[in-house]
Amino acid sequence: MARSSTFIDESDLLPRDPPGPERWNWLSLARQFLSADTTETLAMLREDYGDVVKVYFDGEAYVVSNPTYVQHVLEANQGNYAKADVYDEELGEVFGQGLLTAEPATWQRQQELIRPMFMPATIRTFADLVAEETRAMLDRWKEYADRGEPIDLLSETERVTLLIIGKAMFSEDMADEADRMQEALHVFRDEFKRQTRSVGPTLPRWVPTPHNRQMEEALDYLNGFVYDLIEKRRGREDEFDDLLTMLLQARTDDDERMADEQIRDEIVTFLLAGHETTATALAWTWYLLAHHPEQHRRLHDAALDAPWLDGDSPDPTRFEEGPFVKQCVQEGMRIYPPVPAFSRQAIDSDRLGPYQVDPGTELIMSQFLVHRDPSIWDDPLDYRPDRFDGDGPDCPRYGYFPFGGGARMCIGREFSLLEARIILGMAVRDVKLELESPDYHHYDDIGRDSAVTMTPAERIEMRVGEWE
């Protein structure tokens, strides 16, 4: 932005710390803030102190919600910012050294190995599989309707995306495992949330608390499932063309095959993180549509007319001929980004505008705050899919970044959008979901649960009906 000559450029100022709660007062404030959802904490900090806020969690951290500074960290000076230690502490127990949590050298090697699976031409081949699982989901929904029962929206979107990721990436039909896998996922989610909201150190895993026992049982189940899958596929690599085959055939720099532990970490990463974000995006989008009936009807009409959705075999090469389905998902991810914030850690000293960044400082960059910033988005809580019409939204480069950014941007973003487009498009074309509960005067009164992902804090129940 151009500045008047009467103002001093921020780069000419001596660097200083960002504003924020006084350190001596942080513990009492943290207890108040962390009793709420993390997104409420972030919003309060932004309102009180601005778009860069100094806080003290396990150490010094800055909450960043200025798109220019986010771009600086993720792109302009990305070499100075590494994956934050918090990922090892909160996620490492479940994801190990998978792509989400891996150290730079491991991440680079694994990313290059896995990238071909997520090239556009490969992703398009999964369209029929997504449609097949969507039809099975709709058949299940009609059974609920026949019994006069509502569906649990998030549970349903989690189930269908889990079944899709199992078949697409590992050629595994997970129908018999879906319920148990979802239970394990919920245990992990509760653990991540508990660690995120903890003011002080948590009890070590060996202490036999009820929660620790739940975590141990969930990890035992997950590891048993994954290692059994690896064992039964060893020696049969030529029979399958999927991500698991790529991992099994991979060789290290010493021409050794990849260790089962590393394969396990990648499977878990894609199995859990690879379906949960899409499921969450779909659930929030349907919730928004239920509160905006005019957009819901418009989406139904658009799905009926979309050339790529003619019949039961979607044609992803024609997606751009019927873009409104994607726009509805994109706007849903703006208001309710599946990942509300993520962190990077400074390696050397740096500056964000007038603010000093010391080595080791954690930077918490929040999609949730940026996506709802009224200086970037006109009436940010209005659900308007047309914001994404044509050339896309009128916002800064990092005014919208639901999949992160920079070198570690989500590798599965195009797969996720293909899934969401087909599931939402086919479903809204054929059935009408109407909100049973919770029924708030304003949709955003619903509670949010944020750990790695941001999910509804309450069960969203929908009635399955027909369009008139």
Amino acid residing at 179:
D
Enumerate domains of the chain plus CATH numbers: 85-353+375-465 (1.10.630.10)
**Whole-number pLDDT of residue 38:** 84
As a whole number of angstroms, the distance between CA 162 and CA 273 comes to: 10
Tell me: pLDDT of 7 over 50. no
**Whole-number pLDDT of residue 1:** 39
Instruction: Report residue 285 as tokens.
Output: 């989008």
Q: Return the C-alpha torsion angle 159, 164, 167, 169, nearest 10.
A: -120
Give the long-range contacts of residues 171-176, CB within 8 A, separation 24 or more. Answer: 171/240, 171/242, 171/244, 172/229
SS3 assignment, position 251:
strand
The answer to whether 412 and 270 have CB atoms below 8 angstroms apart is yes
- Count of Cβ atoms closer than 10 Å to residue 178 Cβ: 17
Phi, psi of 341 (to 5 degrees): -165, 160
Instruction: Report residue 48 as tokens.
Output: 């009180």
As a whole number of angstroms, the distance between CA 205 and CA 194 comes to: 13
Residue in the block written with tokens 């309102």: 47
**In terms of residues, how long is the chain?**
468
* Mean pLDDT for the stretch of residues 335-347: 96
**Whole-number pLDDT of residue 3:** 37
SS3 assignment, position 51:
coil
Instruction: Report residue 92 as tokens.
Output: 């490492």
In the beta sheet, which residues pair with residue 356?
351
Side-chain half-sphere CA neighbours of 210 within 13 A: 1
Q: How many helices (H) and strands (E) does the chain have?
A: 17, 12
Tens-place pLDDT, residues 312-331? 789 999 999 999 999 999 99
As a whole number of angstroms, the distance between CA 344 and CA 71 comes to: 12
Tens-place pLDDT, residues 107-141? 888 888 898 889 999 999 999 999 999 999 999 99
* Mean pLDDT for the stretch of residues 249-276: 87
Residue 89 pLDDT grade (very low, low, confident, very high; cuts 50, 70, 90): low
Tell me: pLDDT of 169 over 50. yes
Across the beta sheet with 362-365, the strand order is 52-56, 60-64, 362-365, 342-346, 81-83
Tell me: pLDDT of 457 over 50. yes
As a whole number of angstroms, the distance between CA 376 and CA 395 comes to: 6
The answer to whether 237 and 245 have CB atoms below 8 angstroms apart is yes
SS3 assignment, position 19:
coil
Helices (H), 200-311: 210-233, 243-249, 260-268, 274-291, 293-305
The answer to whether 215 and 91 have CB atoms below 8 angstroms apart is no
Which residues neighbour 16 within 8 Å (Cβ) at sequence distance 6 or greater? 354, 355, 356
Quote the mean pLDDT of the chain: 90
Tens-place pLDDT, residues 179-224? 999 999 999 988 887 776 665 566 667 777 888 899 999 999 999 9
As a whole number of angstroms, the distance between CA 330 and CA 387 comes to: 9
Question: Minimal CA–CA distance to 282: which of 155, 165, 105?
Answer: 155
Tell me: pLDDT of 10 over 60. no
As a whole number of angstroms, the distance between CA 466 and CA 431 comes to: 5
DSSP string for residues in 107-123:
HHHHHHHHGGGGSHHHH
Residue 37 pLDDT grade (very low, low, confident, very high; cuts 50, 70, 90): confident
The answer to whether 405 and 74 have CB atoms below 8 angstroms apart is yes
- Count of Cβ atoms closer than 10 Å to residue 289 Cβ: 25
Residue 259 DSSP class: P
Question: Minimal CA–CA distance to 213: which of 190, 232, 197?
Answer: 190
As a whole number of angstroms, the distance between CA 284 and CA 349 comes to: 39
**Whole-number pLDDT of residue 190:** 86
